[in-house]
Structure 1
Amino acid sequence: MTTATGQLNKGSFKFPLTETLLLLVAVFWGTSYGLTKSALLYTSVLVFISIRFSITFLCMLPVVIRDFRRGLNKDWKIAIPTGFILSAIFFCEVFGVSQTSASNAAFLISLSVILTAFAELIINKKRVSNTLWILTLCSVVGVLLLTSNQGIELSLNAGDYFILAAALLRALMVTLTKRFTEGKEITTTTLTSLQSLVVASVAIIAAMSYLPASEVVIPTSTEFWLTVAYLVLFCTLFAFYVQNYAVRRTSPTRVSLLMGSEPLFGAIFAMVWLQESLNTVQILGGTLILVSVIVTSTRES
């Protein structure tokens, strides 16, 4: 690993810090889809994104101001391009999920793992090891089997193309974040905060431009705000901070592979919380993802 914290002790078995944090992101993201769907019962997509990312920015603002005063953010402008990429990812995912099946969306978004490996090779000129390629393919096949309960449609519709675009943008996001931040003076907190500000700004401008005034309404439901609080704290603030933190310390492909285990934790959440069951093929898929995660997390870079 890239730090002493991330090294395995001889003769012991444990997950290094960076990889453990990435798996926590996958766990939180695995629970986010149902909660997001319930939040959207109270407001439109654009208003929801505006609220979610505005709160994320405001939560981090005091720390960002402190970092600027300490002179730690001389290269703050590098956060802006990745903020626009993050905006595009959210819009593609939201519109894609609304027009395709959950199984198609889960499988197609998992292709970001393979796309990241290619992006790392092309953009950052970094060769991905053969072992990591095998683990990447293993993870994607695992997602395919895990989501096979609803069947994967071979013919792509508009929603599928949106999800594919989101997968490509995810790959570009982690790869370009790695490239832009190498050797630059910007704290991870500021990077995450400014990205959130860009997403919120784009969503607010889009909402004001394209939504009728009657739809630009701030919900008052307690359930809505409790859901938003969870999504902001764990699925946005924590998740994107960890993603930026991890990309600066290890390879984008490793980051994408570990975060790509999200469908596995979504399935576990469905089993425990929703009392759903998995068939043999799905269990095999989950096992493939789990093996990929364990090997990736416990092998040195």
Structure 2
Amino acid sequence: MDRIFKKYSDFLLILTAFFWGSTFILMKKAIEDLPTFSFLFARFFLAFLLMFLIFYKKITLKKEDILAACILGFLNFIAYATQTYSLNFVPSNIVAFITALFVVFTPIFSFLLFKRNIKIYSIMGVIIAVMGLYLLTLSGKLIFNIYEIYPLLCAMFFGLHVSVTDVFSKKYNIYTLVTFQFLVVAILSLLFVPFESHNIKISSLVIFALFITSFFATVFAFFVQTYAQKYTTPTKTAIIFALEPVTAAFFGIMYGEKLTLFQILGGFLVIFATIINEIGDKIIKLLNAKN
């Protein structure tokens, strides 16, 4: 498996961004029938069970591995709680844009916490990605309201999660990190269930949403993120994940949304930012070789 991730880590991260982007509208519809924290509990508890059943032989119960998983789980809970809750009040495209600002927070946290240098082409990629995301999801209009603080917090904690995952994935058992952070998110979500409305409707949409988010957008996605980050940088991971709202926008078309010329341009800018971050080292090496 190490060999596969070493060779295809970036492709698998792009696939992860695709799965995450596909869930924005799906979750917005699902939480109309199943409240935010009830949905998160079901999603992450199912994900925990799936991970445990599939990889139980590779999971360790070392104290340091469990503690690291708890830290990641706490960061993940804050990120998903604020993001999912905001979908009750904010259009999914605006949530997608603000959440994607974690591409800015990731290198900042990596520098502040772990003294990782920020390369110039990574900074360029981040700036271009933010410009692209702005055009793609909002068509140049950003009207901030109080509820948009939630996805902003989400972006900060996602950026922190990516930065910490980069360090932890190289030090601790991958299977333990992924499995038990799901359990932590599920437990923390359960604590908030008594405080929300109990008008629960287990519709076919809720079941479908739980299946997609639990298996593809959680088990597959977070396992890939945690494992692949052993072989790539946190800033590159963040730039690749900037493709998430691109996917969200295209899935929105299936629900009657349309893409303007500015949004199409934004999508190309995000892709261009990904390419810059991907080939930055190679360009610098070629320039140095010529000199």
Asked if these proteins are the same fold (TM beyond 0.5), I'd say: yes
Matched with 2:285 is: none
Shift of 1:63: 4.1
Judging changes above 3 Å, is the alpha-carbon distance between structure 1 residues 49 and 183 closer, same or farther for their aligned structure 2 residues?
closer
Q: Distance in 1 between matches of 2:178 and 2:15?
A: 17
Judging changes above 3 Å, is the alpha-carbon distance between structure 1 residues 299 and 130 closer, same or farther for their aligned structure 2 residues?
closer
In the alignment, is residue 180 of structure 1 matched against residue 168 of structure 2? yes
Shift of 1:242: 1.3
Aligned residue among 104, 114, 127 for 1:137: 127
Aligned residue among 176, 180, 186 for 1:190: 176
Task: Provide, for residues 179-212 of structure 1, a one-character-per-residue CA deviation record: whole Å limited to 9, x for no partner.
Answer: 234333x1x222111011001001112213x246
Aligned residue among 249, 254, 259 for 2:236: 254
Shift of 1:274: 4.1
Matched with 1:202 is: 188
CA RMSD of aligned residues (A): 2.5
Contact 2:24 2:96 in 1 (8 A): no
In the alignment, is residue 51 of structure 1 matched against residue 42 of structure 2? yes
Task: Provide, for residues 222-255 of structure 1, a one-character-per-residue CA deviation record: whole Å limited to 9, x for no partner.
Answer: 4422221122111111111111112222211111
Matched with 1:13 is: none
Matched with 1:28 is: 19
Q: Distance in 1 between matches of 2:232 and 2:57?
A: 27
How many residues are paired up? Answer: 281
In the alignment, is residue 278 of structure 1 matched against residue 278 of structure 2? no
In the alignment, is residue 95 of structure 1 matched against residue 60 of structure 2? no
* Superposition TM-score, scaled by structure 2 size: 0.87
In the alignment, is residue 111 of structure 1 matched against residue 101 of structure 2? yes
Shift of 1:121: 1.1
Judging changes above 3 Å, is the alpha-carbon distance between structure 1 residues 97 and 227 closer, same or farther for their aligned structure 2 residues?
closer
Q: Distance in 1 between matches of 2:147 and 2:202?
A: 31
Q: Distance in 2 between matches of 1:278 and 1:236?
A: 28
Q: Identity percentage over the alignment?
A: 25
Aligned residue runs from structure 1 range 145-224, under 5 A:
145-149=135-139, 151-153=141-143, 156-184=144-172, 186=173, 188-208=174-194, 210-211=195-196, 214-215=198-199, 219-224=201-206
Shift of 1:122: 1.2
Q: Distance in 1 between matches of 2:3 and 2:121?
A: 22
Q: Distance in 2 between matches of 1:67 and 1:109?
A: 33
* Superposition TM-score, scaled by structure 1 size: 0.84
Unpaired segments of 5 or more residues in structure 1?
A: 8-15
Residue 86 of structure 1 aligns with an amino acid whose one-letter code is N
- Partner-residue secondary structure (3-state), 1:66: coil
Contact 1:25 1:239 in 2 (8 A): yes
Contact 1:89 1:170 in 2 (8 A): yes
- Partner-residue secondary structure (3-state), 2:232: coil
Unpaired segments of 5 or more residues in structure 2?
A: 283-291
Q: Distance in 2 between matches of 1:102 and 1:60?
A: 28
Q: Distance in 1 between matches of 2:83 and 2:28?
A: 13
Judging changes above 3 Å, is the alpha-carbon distance between structure 1 residues 294 and 92 closer, same or farther for their aligned structure 2 residues?
same
Q: Distance in 1 between matches of 2:176 and 2:222?
A: 11
Q: Distance in 1 between matches of 2:93 and 2:29?
A: 19
Judging changes above 3 Å, is the alpha-carbon distance between structure 1 residues 296 and 47 closer, same or farther for their aligned structure 2 residues?
same
